[in-house]
Amino acid sequence: MKRRDFMKNTIVAIAGASVPLSALEFIDPREVLAANPEIHWAFLINTYSCVGCGFCVKACKTENDIPFEANASRTWVERYVYTKDDRRYIDSPKSAQYGFTDARIDLGEHLGYQDVDPNNVGKAFFVPKLCNHCATPSCTQVCPVGATYKTDSGPVLVDRSWCIGCGYCIMACPFGARFFHPVLKVVDKCTFCYHRITKGVETACVNACPFGARKMCNIKDINDPVTQIILNERVGVLKDEFGTKPQAFYIGLASEVR
């Protein structure tokens, strides 16, 4: 055999060997969908529109059976008040489930309430928060039994029948989105109202917000007007330094909001 022929044959042999390998590869429709999903849910919060009424929190607690008397919530609203002499106050009394009905700042059991002179307020705003349904969540990573997981379409869920209640995911979430359900004694968190969105209905909080401060979209659908905002406007996410890639985007995020 001539040297050239040998080379040629070798190349043919290699090419031939590689064909059946790839042909054998099994195509799982779920994997294909996961790699190119048509749906990936994202959230958009416009902090300029939020007035701190707390309707979203109320709606969420009602929709998802989180007792009103429990001091924990899947979503909550924070109030930021900065005085002209640079004092900063933040609070979220009862997760703002009844809104902000008191002008005083709630400083916790020990310190009580703080009066703020309305003429001394420099800037003040509200920030609604919820689970960010991060793209690379640290909460699902640490669950020792795989009871909390990320769905193909984005939402991060908890299997209530499998959670052992170790609390590792609560510790791992940099956003304080998780807590123990006071009745069920398993971890609980926002599900993006998975039971609703999968039926084409918007989440309870989006539905309840009278000011359109909360919106949801399929970020894969570039024609979706909300997706358009996320793609074209200046939006930010909370605590990107943790590398969890939050999927809740904010308009008008201040650096003090953590």
Partner 1 sequence: MVENVMHVHGELWTVKELFVLPNEYVYWSIQIVMYPFMTGLVAGAFVLSSLYHVFGVKQLKEIARFSLVFSFALLPVAMMPLLMHLQQPFRGIHVMMTPHFTSAISAFGIVFMAYAFIVASELWFEYRKHFVLTTQALAAQPQRSGFDTLRMHFFKVLTLGAMDISHEAVQKDHNAVKKLASLGIPVACFLHGYAGFIFGSVKANALWMTPLMPVIFICSAVVSGIALCILCYVVTMEIRKFMAKRKISRWSKDPNAPSVEELQSAEQLEIKIVSNYLLYFMIAAITLEILDLIFRGYTQVKSWDILREVIMERDFNKIFIMQYAFGNALPFLLMVLPNRTVRRTTIATVLVMFGVFMMRWNVVIGGQAFSLSFSGFMHYHLPIIPHDWETFREGLGGALLVMATPFVIFYFLNKIFPAFMKEEEAH
Which residues here bind ligand SF4, judged by CB under 6 A?
131-134, 137-139, 142-143, 145, 147-148, 156, 158, 163-169, 173, 175, 177-178, 187, 189, 244
CB of 185 to ligand SF4, least distance (A): 10
102 vs 240, beta carbon nearer ligand SF4: 240
- Kindly list the residues in this chain that would bind partner 1 in the complex (CB under 8 A): 67-73, 76, 78, 88-92, 94-95, 107-111, 129, 138, 140-147, 162-168, 170-180, 182-183, 185-186, 241-243, 258
Query: Per-residue DSSP letters for 102-116?
Result: -SSEE--TTT-EE--
CB of 76 to partner 1, least distance (A): 5
Are the C-beta atoms of residues 63 and 204 closer than 8 Å to each other?
yes
CB of 225 to partner 1, least distance (A): 31
- Residue 106 tokens read as 């709630």
Which does residue 132 touch among ligand SF4, partner 1, none (CB within 5 to 8 A, set by kind)?
Answer: ligand SF4
Which does residue 133 touch among ligand SF4, partner 1, none (CB within 5 to 8 A, set by kind)?
Answer: ligand SF4
83 vs 138, beta carbon nearer ligand SF4: 138
Count of Cβ atoms closer than 10 Å to residue 110 Cβ: 5
Which does residue 88 touch among ligand SF4, partner 1, none (CB within 5 to 8 A, set by kind)?
Answer: partner 1
Which does residue 230 touch among ligand SF4, partner 1, none (CB within 5 to 8 A, set by kind)?
Answer: none
145 vs 201, beta carbon nearer partner 1: 145
Which does residue 73 touch among ligand SF4, partner 1, none (CB within 5 to 8 A, set by kind)?
Answer: partner 1
CB of 221 to partner 1, least distance (A): 30
43 vs 126, beta carbon nearer ligand SF4: 43
Q: In what order do the strands lie in the sheet with 214-218?
A: 214-218, 41-46, 248-251
φ/ψ bin of 65: left (φ > 0), alpha (ψ from -120 to 50), beta (otherwise): left
Measured distance CA(141)–CA(144) in Å, rounded: 8
12 vs 164, beta carbon nearer partner 1: 164
Dihedral of the alpha carbons of 93, 95, 97, 103, in degrees to the nearest 10: 30
Measured distance CA(53)–CA(219) in Å, rounded: 28
Let me know if 233 is exposed, middle or buried by CB neighbors in 10 A (0-12, 13-18, 19+). Answer: exposed
- Residue 91 tokens read as 């609070």
Measured distance CA(222)–CA(41) in Å, rounded: 12
